[in-house]
Structure 1
């Protein structure tokens, strides 16, 4: 007797989401790196004065560009997305002075966090450094302002596919651990622009079924229809870390005035004794 095969929808994975107010700690970051926490939202993680200054520096930055890789938005910096190692590290070198200009004489909150985490991991016998190759070295962050016009300002996606398929020889090893997306938010709109996380962590087979093997972008509304999600409501001065293996996106922003601006980087274990950081 033959039975019809029942098609299975996306697997539902548990989310461990934490939120608190105040400065971020290195222990917070390490908990996400080790996969103990799915997302961490730090309210008022850095000062509004610094946030406003970074926002102004972004708007007048000579390195401000429109993305041309199929993901609508403006940016300052470099992205490894859909790039080979030569192109990515060349972009990083060219963008470095413009990334520096985002901060000028300000106390750089991203560099401050990087340096603190580097000291803490060193004490634990683990090295933290920027990703590199014979072609150059990654920048510490990039600035992004997404501009999608549909239901999402940034469509649902995962960050693992692009790392697993990265041409840089160092990064694919991170995809076998937790790929952490670290975001600082200098500016947020009056409404919307929430970080939405679905309770689904796609496998290679899942991505292949959707034709997203190398990009992880974008997952369709139909694919995610039955998957529960949770939103992180963000304000200027907030910091968020997420396990980028979970599908996530940015809800449409509304209201006039301020736009949604973030400083973004990625980090993860390449080996038990090495954490890489890149954009």
Structure 2
């Protein structure tokens, strides 16, 4: 159980069971400037999430989005979570497979991100400076001298009720094929999701439910190594936050909570973001991956 310690554990039934935080915990305060100390609150389980409105300049967002869509290295993902992407997903792969993909796309990703005001560098740099005061190192996840992808550019194009179905990020960190990868040690801490919005039309909101599914629930639903998808009916009656997302916004939240992405209501618009995952693997180390 994580969070403030003042939440509740739901009884078994037809709904998702697990831990829910209190009102102070399940809040998503908004700020107009980057404050990495608030990201640390999410990392340490004191708050569910935080939003930094307009942290990235609109012209930087527009340039990154244009470079992403123009990149010949952009790929299409048609399984699990349909999307266009540039970068590597660790989901449901062996450690070697993920690191091979990370190495293969590194140069193309660096080329897209190589501009003044790179928001990924600004975010992790600020977080590293903040945590250095506590003797904590922030770095990409690594394995035998190889490193995880530094970021993931993606645009969801699912056309159902959700562009990205309800899921949580903790279960995928238990993938048996990655048992030798240090990111599996993050499951004893908070698994944090970083999203930097580059473009979005009408809709495209983030949904976060106030529930961190327990192991019994995950096994009952057959999601203990994937965390996806949680049927919508199993989330009925659970508190949910809908967070509007605009270009330039940076939002960080505890990915152990079930969350989803709403599709755009304008067929001609796109929801594109720069993303990553990060968390403590021990008291002195935070690692990031994708």
Query: Given that residues 168 and 257 in structure 2 are in contact (C-alpha distance below 8 angstroms), is that contact kept between their aligned partners in structure 1?
Result: yes
In the alignment, which residue of structure 2 is the partner of 1:173? 185
3-state SS of paired residue (1:253): coil
In the alignment, which residue of structure 1 is the partner of 2:45? 35
Query: Given that residues 78 and 91 in structure 1 are in contact (C-alpha distance below 8 angstroms), is that contact kept between their aligned partners in structure 2?
Result: yes
In the alignment, which residue of structure 1 is the partner of 2:254? 243
Long gaps (5+) in structure 2: 1-10
3-state SS of paired residue (2:20): coil
What is the CA distance between 1:244 and its match in structure 2? 0.3
Q: 1:10 aligns with which of 1, 16, 21?
A: 16
Distance, in Å, in 1 between the alignment partners of 2:78 and 2:93 is: 12
Please give the TM-score of this superposition, normalised by the length of structure 1: 0.93
What is the CA distance between 1:6 and its match in structure 2? 7.8
In the alignment, which residue of structure 1 is the partner of 2:7? none
In the alignment, which residue of structure 1 is the partner of 2:97? 87
Which deviates more, 220-229 or 231-240?
Answer: 220-229
What is the CA distance between 1:28 and its match in structure 2? 1.4
What is the CA distance between 1:225 and its match in structure 2? 2.0
Distance, in Å, in 1 between the alignment partners of 2:134 and 2:81 is: 38
Q: 2:197 aligns with which of 176, 182, 185?
A: 185
| RMSD of Structure 2 on Structure 1 (CA) | 1.7
Structure 1 67/6 Cα, relative in aligned 2: closer, same or farther at 3 Å? closer
Query: Given that residues 14 and 234 in structure 2 are in contact (C-alpha distance below 8 angstroms), is that contact kept between their aligned partners in structure 1?
Result: no
In the alignment, which residue of structure 1 is the partner of 2:266? 255
Query: Given that residues 26 and 210 in structure 2 are in contact (C-alpha distance below 8 angstroms), is that contact kept between their aligned partners in structure 1?
Result: no
Query: Given that residues 164 and 173 in structure 1 are in contact (C-alpha distance below 8 angstroms), is that contact kept between their aligned partners in structure 2?
Result: no
2:58 counterpart of 1:24: no
In the alignment, which residue of structure 1 is the partner of 2:282? 271
Q: Deviations over 1:120-141 (max 9, x none)?
A: 2222111111100026101221
Distance, in Å, in 2 between the alignment partners of 1:69 and 1:137 is: 25
3-state SS of paired residue (1:75): strand
Long gaps (5+) in structure 1: none
2:228 counterpart of 1:221: no
Structure 1 100/205 Cα, relative in aligned 2: closer, same or farther at 3 Å? same
Distance, in Å, in 2 between the alignment partners of 1:23 and 1:6 is: 41
Structure 1 6/90 Cα, relative in aligned 2: closer, same or farther at 3 Å? closer
What is the CA distance between 1:233 and its match in structure 2? 0.6
Distance, in Å, in 1 between the alignment partners of 2:166 and 2:16 is: 14
Task: List, as ranges, runs of 4+ consecutive aligned residues in structure 1 with deviation greater than 4 Å.
Answer: none
Structure 1 86/135 Cα, relative in aligned 2: closer, same or farther at 3 Å? farther
Which deviates more, 249-258 or 69-78?
Answer: 249-258
